Amino acid sequence: MRGTIIKGIAGFYEVADANGNIFTCHARGIFRKDGIKPLVGDCVLFSEAETESSEANIEKILPRKNELIRPSVSNIDMAVVVLSVRKPDPQLYLLDKYLVFMEQQNVPAAILFNKTDLDTDDILPEYAAIYENIGYHILFTSAADKRGIEELKNFISGKKVVLAGPSGVGKSSLTNILYPGARMETGEISRKIERGKQTTRHSEFFPVGNDTFLCDTPGFTSVSLIDKEEDLRFFFPEISVREGKCRFTGCRHLSEPGCAVKEAVQNGEIALSRYESYKKMSEEISGKRGHI
């Protein structure tokens, strides 16, 4: 049988099939055979228990599409970076950092603006345009009045999705709407209580039906950047498409003359905020402070 590991607890694994039926499995012999430790997100072949006293066993881990380090999960199809339009206000630098983090791990990303019920002064079209222009899909939701939830459901259907983003933007609220069984604690007070427990929580996938999984990621409110500054330019799509167009090969697009990237910023083809983020990240990495 074929399934997806949705949870690991003390040597046991919960495996969900496409219909959301859950099997508790051992992973006897798998490390010896494949040399890898099962991860939440792994697609596996498993055998059902033969007798009532025996256990189901994971027989094979199918090849991974990708593997995230923090949280330690595999096969993520889409990272939805969640921001709120107000409370807290969206921080584009933070958003850019999340996008770079996903690009460097080969995880496709989309952007979701939540709390649209609080939007008062129309900053959204401008922000959305910046990111649509460079190829990111944008979603708008309100967990409070359920606007945009159907679009979100359609967008994630059939995918393994992680909701990333800073705390307080509504990730738990959205998770609760998509998967009422999750009963994630929301809001400040519960968060304070939860903080002490957070180190012991593990990633878990919630099967939301239709071969769709939502990854609950306690450790996903912070991201770390790659430590090689020269790689950064490949993780900004609008910068990497201009690779080779500058006067100097290996141009870092900072202070070099004849730089196609800086030209594109000047004539408005590249958003100034994105270029500022690029410069700031570049400085952070070279100063070895690439952690938020």
Q: Rounded distance, CA 195 to CA 256, Å?
A: 46
Amino acid at 32: R
List the one residue out of 47, 132, 179 whose CA is nearest residue 140.
132
The token pair that represents 137 in the structure block: 């899909």
Question: Is residue 173 a contact point for ligand GDP (CB under 6 A)?
Answer: yes
DSSP string of 63-85, one letter each residue: PPS-EETTTTEE---EEEEEEES
**Residues numbered 76-115 forming contacts with ligand GDP, rule: CB under 6 A:** 114-115
Candidates 135, 187, 209, 219; binder of ligand GDP (CB under 6 A) is 187
Q: Stretches 14-22, 200-208, 253-261, 275-283: which one binds Zn ion (CB under 5 A)?
A: 253-261
CA 141, 142, 147, 149 dihedral sign is: positive
Q: Which positions ≥6 away from 215 have C-beta within 8 Å?
A: 40, 41, 71, 73, 76, 160, 161, 162, 163, 203, 204, 205, 206
Query: Which residue number, 143 or 261, has a Cβ lying nearer to ligand GDP?
Result: 143
Which of Zn ion, ligand GDP, none sits in contact with 253, Cβ below 5 to 8 A by type? Zn ion
The reply on whether position 9 binds ligand GDP by CB under 6 A is no
Compute the least distance from the CB of residue 221 to ligand GDP, in Å. Answer: 7
Region 122-151 residues binding ligand GDP, contact defined as CB under 6 A: 142-144
List 171, 242, 252, 274, residue binding ligand GDP (CB under 6 A): 171
- Helix 92-104, helix 272-286: angle, nearest 10: 70
Q: Which stretch binds ligand GDP (CB under 6 A): 124-132, 167-175, 237-245, 272-280?
A: 167-175
Taking the C-alpha atoms of residue 131 and residue 122, their distance in angstroms, rounded to an integer, is: 16
From Zn ion, ligand GDP, none, interface partner of 259 (C-beta below 5 to 8 A by class): Zn ion
Binding partner selected for residue 9 from ligand GDP, Zn ion, none, CB under the kind-specific 5 to 8 Å limit: none
Which token pair is 261?
């990237």
Q: Which residue from 9, 36, 118, 129 is in contact with ligand GDP, where contact means CB under 6 A?
A: 118
Radius of gyration for the chain, computed over Cα atoms and rounded to the nearest angstrom: 21
Compute the least distance from the CB of residue 96 to ligand GDP, in Å: 18
Given the rule CB under 5 A, which residues bind Zn ion? 246, 251, 253, 259, 261
Given the rule CB under 6 A, which residues bind ligand GDP? 114-115, 117-118, 142-144, 167-173, 186-187
